[in-house]
Amino acid sequence: MQLSLQIIAGIWIVFLAIIFVPALLNPMPAERRSSRYIRQSGIFAILVVILIIVAGRFAPGALFIRVIPDSALAGITAIILTIAGLTFSVWARYHLGRNWSSMVMIKVGHQLIRTGPYRFVRNPMYTGILVAVVGVAIAIGELFAFIALLIGIASIWFKIKAEEEVLTERFGEEYLQYKREVKALIPFIV
């Protein structure tokens, strides 16, 4: 499993470079930022830290129970999920172009993107990242990794709600129609 985790770490490093370097080299000014998301994220992070401290205090070692066997099949599955998820996210990042930001914001000249993976889900970068994080959890194989996955899902859901707020404010009925037509994370389901 150690080799799988090393490969996955390398894949994530390449992904982060692909996502962030273009934004650093060609930034686009922000028109509006969401302070609500920043506030909610801070509160959420504090609650997660408290939960981890409490769990560690009352059930030491319980978070490190192996739930996925340490096997070649698990390692290969983890690598495939990581590659597939992050490739989907890169495809989405390509279609967002200069509209992309790691923070919840509307950029000057922001456009509502409905091409590429945005035809299938409204938040394909998050869909891909979550698939990749499932791969990481499988590679780690311990309970805490799946708890981290659930925390990641909740965190992304908070961010989606904040993004929907600013997108609705900016694009109005056009975004609401898109929201009715295309699911948030999983095509035709959620």
92, 20 Cβ separation under 8 angstroms? no
> Helices in 26-123 by DSSP H: which ranges?
35-58, 72-96
Lowest mean pLDDT, pick from 23-27, 104-108, 124-128: 23-27
Which are the contacts of 152, defined by CB distance < 8 A and separation ≥ 6?
130, 133
User: Other C-beta atoms within 10 Å of 182: how many?
Assistant: 17
Amino acid symbol at 180: R
141, 75 Cβ separation under 8 angstroms? no
CA distance 2 to 99: 37
* Burial status of residue 24 (CB atoms within 10 A of its CB: 0-12, 13-18, 19 or more): exposed
Domains of the chain: 2-14+31-181 (1.20.120.1630)
Decide if pLDDT at 38 tops 70.
Answer: no
pLDDT tens-digit series, residues 130-178? 999 999 999 999 998 998 899 889 888 988 998 999 999 999 999 999 9
Is the backbone of residue 132 left (phi > 0), alpha (psi -120 to 50) or beta? alpha
Decide if pLDDT at 33 tops 70.
Answer: no
Model confidence at 90, pLDDT cuts 50, 70, 90, reads very high
Please tell me whether residue 67 adopts helix, strand or coil conformation. Answer: coil
Q: Which helix (H) or strand (E) holds 70?
A: none
Decide if pLDDT at 126 tops 80.
Answer: yes
187, 119 Cβ separation under 8 angstroms? no
CA distance 87 to 174: 28
Which are the contacts of 112, defined by CB distance < 8 A and separation ≥ 6?
167, 171, 174, 175, 178
**Per-residue pLDDT averaged across 88-103, rounded?**
92
- Which residues is 33 bridged to in the sheet? 105
The model's pTM: 0.87
